[in-house]
Amino acid sequence: MTNSTETQNLLTIRGLRIEGKSGDHWNEIVHGVDLDLKRGEVLGLIGESGAGKSTIGLAAMGFTRDGCRISSGTIDFDGIDLVNATQKVRRGLRGHRIAYVAQSAAASFNPAHKLIDQYCESPIVHGVMSRDQAEKDAVDLYRRLHLPNPEDIGFRYPHQVSGGQLQRAMTAMAMASKPDLIIFDEPTTALDVTTQIEVLSAIRDVVREFHTAAIYITHDLAVVAQMADRVKVLLKGEEVEESDTRSMLNDPKEDYTKSLWAVRSFHAEPKADVSQACTPVVSIKNVTAAYGKVPVLHDVSFNIHKGRTVAVVGESGSGKSTTARVITGLLPASKGEICFNGKVMPGSYKQRSKDQLRQAQMIYQMADTALNPKQTIGEIIGRPVQFYLGLRGKDRLERVRALLDEIELEPDLYINRLPSELSGGQKQRIGIARALAAEPEFIICDEVTSALDQLVAEGILKLLSKVQKDFGLAYMFITHDLATVRAIADEVVVMQQGKVVEAGPKDIMFTPPHHAYTDLLLSSIPEMDPDWLDKLLKQREEAGQ
Are the C-beta atoms of 478 and 447 separated by less than 8 Å? Answer: yes
Q: Residues near 309 by Cβ (< 8 Å), separated by ≥ 6?
A: 268, 465, 468, 474, 475, 477, 488, 489, 490, 491
Burial of 273 (0-12, 13-18, 19+ CB in 10 A): exposed
Rule CB under 8 A: choose which of 12, 104, 189, 523 binds another protein. 104
Q: What share of the chain is helix, strand, coil (3-state, %, to 5)?
A: 40, 25, 35
Q: Residues near 19 by Cβ (< 8 Å), separated by ≥ 6?
A: 26, 27, 28, 29, 68, 69, 71
**Closest CB to another protein among residues 66, 412:** 66
Q: How far is the CB of 138 from another protein (least distance, A)?
A: 14
* Residue 108 in contact with another protein, rule: CB under 8 A: yes
H or E stretch at 152:
none
Rule CB under 8 A: choose which of 38, 91, 236, 246 binds another protein. 91
Nearest Cα to 51, choosing from 67, 29, 72?
29
* Residue 368 in contact with another protein, rule: CB under 8 A: no
Tell me which stretch binds another protein (CB under 8 A): 98-106, 228-236, 278-286, 397-405: 98-106
* Residue 45 in contact with another protein, rule: CB under 8 A: no
Tell me which stretch binds another protein (CB under 8 A): 94-102, 313-321, 365-373, 410-418: 94-102
Tell me which stretch binds another protein (CB under 8 A): 61-69, 208-216, 395-403, 489-497: 61-69
Are the C-beta atoms of 212 and 182 separated by less than 8 Å? Answer: yes
**Closest CB to another protein among residues 95, 252:** 95
Q: DSSP character for 36?
A: E
DSSP 326-362: HHHTSS--SEEEEEETTEEPPSSGGGS-HHHHHHEEE
* Residue 328 in contact with another protein, rule: CB under 8 A: no
Are the C-beta atoms of 80 and 60 separated by less than 8 Å? Answer: no
* Radius of gyration in angstroms for the set of CA atoms belonging to the chain, rounded to a whole number: 25
* Residue 22 in contact with another protein, rule: CB under 8 A: no
Q: 70 phi and psi, to 5 degrees?
A: -85, 120
Tell me which stretch binds another protein (CB under 8 A): 103-111, 278-286, 383-391, 496-504: 103-111
Q: 317 phi and psi, to 5 degrees?
A: 85, 5
Q: How far is the CB of 99 from another protein (least distance, A)?
A: 8
* Residue 159 in contact with another protein, rule: CB under 8 A: yes
**Closest CB to another protein among residues 65, 267:** 65
Q: 126 to 145, contacts with another protein by CB under 8 A?
A: 126
Residues facing residue 493 across a β-bridge: 312, 503
Tell me which stretch binds another protein (CB under 8 A): 120-128, 189-197, 277-285, 288-296: 120-128
Q: How far is the CB of 91 from another protein (least distance, A)?
A: 5
Rule CB under 8 A: choose which of 9, 122, 171, 196 binds another protein. 122
Tell me which stretch binds another protein (CB under 8 A): 69-77, 95-103, 198-206, 304-312: 95-103
* Residue 61 in contact with another protein, rule: CB under 8 A: yes
* Residue 65 in contact with another protein, rule: CB under 8 A: yes
Are the C-beta atoms of 60 and 13 separated by less than 8 Å? Answer: yes
Q: Residues near 154 by Cβ (< 8 Å), separated by ≥ 6?
A: 114, 115, 116, 119, 135, 138, 139, 142, 169
Tell me which stretch binds another protein (CB under 8 A): 144-152, 153-161, 317-325, 438-446: 153-161
SS3 15: strand
For residues 488-509, b (16+ Cβ closer than 10 Å) or e, as one string? bbbbbbbbbebebbbbeebeeb
Rule CB under 8 A: choose which of 8, 107, 271, 420 binds another protein. 107
Rule CB under 8 A: choose which of 29, 35, 42, 102 binds another protein. 102
Indicate the residue type of 353: S
Rule CB under 8 A: choose which of 92, 317, 332, 411 binds another protein. 92
Tell me which stretch binds another protein (CB under 8 A): 22-30, 102-110, 348-356, 435-443: 102-110
Are the C-beta atoms of 502 and 517 separated by less than 8 Å? Answer: yes
Size of the site for another protein (CB under 8 A): 30
**Closest CB to another protein among residues 104, 386:** 104
**Closest CB to another protein among residues 111, 513:** 111
Distance CA 214, CA 57 (A): 10
Q: How far is the CB of 117 from another protein (least distance, A)?
A: 10
Distance CA 5, CA 14 (A): 20
**Closest CB to another protein among residues 34, 121:** 121
Tell me which stretch binds another protein (CB under 8 A): 90-98, 194-202, 324-332, 464-472: 90-98
DSSP 218-279: ES-HHHHHHH-SEEEEEETTEEEEEEEHHHHHH---SHHHHHHHHGGG--PPP-PPPPTTSP
**Closest CB to another protein among residues 66, 541:** 66
Q: How far is the CB of 183 from another protein (least distance, A)?
A: 8
**Closest CB to another protein among residues 43, 61:** 61
| Residues at the site binding another protein, with contacts judged by CB under 8 A | 58, 61, 63, 65-66, 91-96, 99-100, 102, 104, 107-113, 121-122, 125-126, 156-157, 159-160
